[in-house]
A and B are shown apart, each in its own frame.
Chain A
Amino acid sequence: MSNNNIIINTSKLTKYYGKRLGIEDVDLEVKRGEVFGYLGPNGAGKTTTIRTLLDFIRPTRGSATVFGLDIRQSSVDIHSRVGYLNGELALYNDMTGEDLLKYLGNLRGGLDWQYVKALATRFGCDLPRRIQGLSLGNKQKLGLLQAFMNKPELIILDEPTNGLDPLMQHEFYDLLTENKKEGRTIFLSSHILPEVEKMCDRVGIIRQGKLVTVETIEILKSHSVRKLEIHFTRAVPKEKFNNLPGVRDVVVQDTLLTCNVVGSLDALVKAASQFEVMNIISHEPSLEDIFMTYYNEGKNNVK
C-alpha cells in the first residue's frame, strides 16, 4: 500500500528514446520533507527521470508514483501539487514577468500575490520588464519564483542554480531551507557536488542512465576521496605517513606531501602534527572521483 511519507517512488523506471538509453531500472524513494539531490553529469538521465515523473514522456518499462498517485493516471492531480522548474528554461519572451506569473497562477488558482511580490523583492526580480530583455540569471530567478510561489507540497527543480550569481545562490539556499522547515519536499538535480552537499539531505547518484547509489550526505562524504597537500617547513620522512588508515598514494617531495584520503583526516593530521606544518590544502573531491569510487565498488561487488 502507498505510504503517506513516501512522496516519490519509482520502480524499475526505464526510458529508451528509440534505441538510445535514457534511464534504466531506476528505483528511487523520496521521503516527505527531505531535500533530495539528484546528482549526475550532463546526459546521465536526470532530466529524463524528472520529465517521466511529470508525464511529459512515457516510461518504456517500470512505473512510478508521486504522492502515491500513478504518474500516468493522475498526472493532472500530481501537477496541481508540484512546483516545477525546467532545466533548459524557456519562458514566454513576449510577456512581462508579472504577466507570466499571473497567468501561471491563474492556471493553478489560489495564488497569493503578496507572497509573489515578497519573493520578487527578495530575489530582485524586475517583474514589469519583458522577459525577452532579461539576462539568463534573471530568467532563472523568474523560473524559481514560479516553482515556489504556489507553495506546493513537492518542488522539482532541474538544475536550479543555473546562471545564478553567488549572492542569489545563497538566497536560493535560504529559500530551500525555509521551505524544508515548512514541511515541503524538494527534489533537485545538479551536476555540481558542493552545491548538492550544501543543500541536500540525501543524494542519488546517476550515471549513464543507471542509479549508482543513494546515500546521505555524511556517508557520501565519508566515502569520497579527497586530495590533500601538506606543506612542511622542513623535509619529512615518508615512513611516518605509510600505513595510516584511509591514507593512500602518499608522495613526499622534500617539504611537500601529497596523498589521497578516504573519510576521516584524523590519522593524517595527527601524524603531520609531529612536524611543523606551514599549510594544508584540501581539494574537494570531484564528481568524477566520487563516481569512480562508487563505480569501482559496484564492479567489485559484482565480482
Chain B
Amino acid sequence: MLNNMFLKTLRDQKRSLLYWGIGIIALAIVMALFYPTISKMSAFNQYLNQLPEGLKQMFGSAIVDYTSPAGYFSTELFSFMVPLLLLVFGIGFGANAIAGEEEKGTLGFLLANPVPRWRVLVDKFGVLAVSMVLLGLLFWVGLAISVSAMSIHISLLKLAEATLGAVLLAMVFASLAFFAGSIKGNKNLSLGIASGTGVLTYILNTLGGMVSWLKNYRFISPFYHYMQPDTLNNGLSPLHILVLLALAVIFFALSIPAFNRRDITV
C-alpha cells in the first residue's frame, strides 16, 4: 500500500471507507425493512397528493405513488438521504485532498519528491472517484440484497442507475471542493464553498419547481439534473448524466492549472 501516492491515499481512507460503508449499507437495509409496512398504507398517497406543489418537488416527481417500491425508495432514499451522505463524504474528501495536506504541513514534504504537481492531483482525485464509486456500490449491494430477500418488486438495474446518479451528483460537489483546495490551501474555505454551493443549488432546484420565474434557471442546479429524470421509474437520462459528469470533470481539470500556478504555503 506504500508503492505510490494513489495506494497510500487509498490506505489513508481505509478506516473512513469502512465506517461510511457500514453506515450506508445499514441505511439501505433499514429503509428496505420499513417498506412492507408503508406499502399497506394507501391513505398515504391521497394525503401526499394534497401537498403543495413545492413540497412535492422536494421529494421528486415519484411522490405521486409513494407506496409503490419506486415511489418509496425515491422519496426516502434517493431524493435526500443518499445524496446527502455521499455529498458529505465527497466534499470532506475533496477539501482534505490538497488543502488538508497543506494545512497539516506535509504538502511541501510530499512535493519535494520527484513527483510533478499534476500527478499529485491525479492520484488524489483518482482515490476520491474510486471511493465514491465504492460507497455507491456498497449501498447498491446492500439495497439489492435487502429487496431481493424481502421480495420487493423493483428493478435492480434501476436501483443501480439511481445510485450512479447520486454518486455523480456528489462528485460534482466533491470536485468543486477539490478545486477550491487547489486554488487556495484552506480546508474550511473549501468545505464552505462546496457545501454552500450545494445548499444554494438545492434550494434553486426546489424553489424552481414553485416559483415560475426561477423555473428557467433550474438547469443551473446539479440537483435538477439528478432529480428531474426520476431515474427509479424511467432509468438514466444520458443528457442529465452527462451534465453531472462534465461538471465533475471540469472542476477537476481546472484544479490542475490552478494548483500548478500557485505558491505552496507549507
Residues of A within 8 A of B (CB): 17, 51, 54, 56-58, 75-77, 79-80, 82, 84, 86, 88-92, 94, 99, 102-104, 106-108
Contact = CB atoms under 8 A, between A and B. Distances in A.
A107 B116 contact: no
The size bracket of the interface on B is 20 to 34
By DSSP majority rule, is chain A's interface helix, strand, loop, or mixed?
mixed
Interface in B70-121: 104-106, 108-109, 111-116
Given A56-B264, A103-B8, A106-B2, A91 B114 contact: no
Contact of B263 (A57, A79, A99): A57
Contacts of B266: 88, 90
A86 B109 CA distance: 7
Interface of B: 2-5, 8, 12, 104-106, 108-109, 111-116, 263-264, 266
A106 B3 contact: yes
A107 B106 CA distance: 15
Nearest to A80: B114
Contacts of B12: 94
B105 A88 contact: yes
A56 B106 CA distance: 12
A86 B263 contact: no
B3 to A, nearest CB: 5
Nearest to A90: B105
B114 A56 contact: no
A106 B114 CA distance: 11
A147 to B, nearest CB: 9
Contacts of B5: 107
A84 B113 CA distance: 9
With most chain A CB atoms within 10 A of its CB, the pick from B104, B112, B113 is B112
22 contacts: A51-B264, A56-B108, A58-B263, A79-B111, A79-B112, A79-B115, A84-B109, A84-B112, A86-B105, A86-B108, A86-B109, A86-B112, A88-B266, A90-B104, A90-B105, A90-B106, A92-B106, A103-B2, A106-B2, A107-B4, A107-B5, A108-B114
B115 A54 contact: no
Contacts of A104: 113
B264 A99 contact: no
Nearest to A84: B112
Contacts of B4: 106-107
Contacts of A57: 263-264
A57 B265 CA distance: 8
A91 B113 CA distance: 14
Given A79-B111, A82-B112, 12 more contacts: A56-B108, A57-B263, A76-B115, A86-B109, A88-B266, A90-B105, A91-B109, A103-B8, A104-B113, A106-B3, A106-B4, A107-B115
Smallest CB-CB A-B distances: 7 pairs? A90-B105, A80-B114, A57-B263, A103-B2, A107-B113, A84-B112, A56-B264
A108 B113 contact: yes
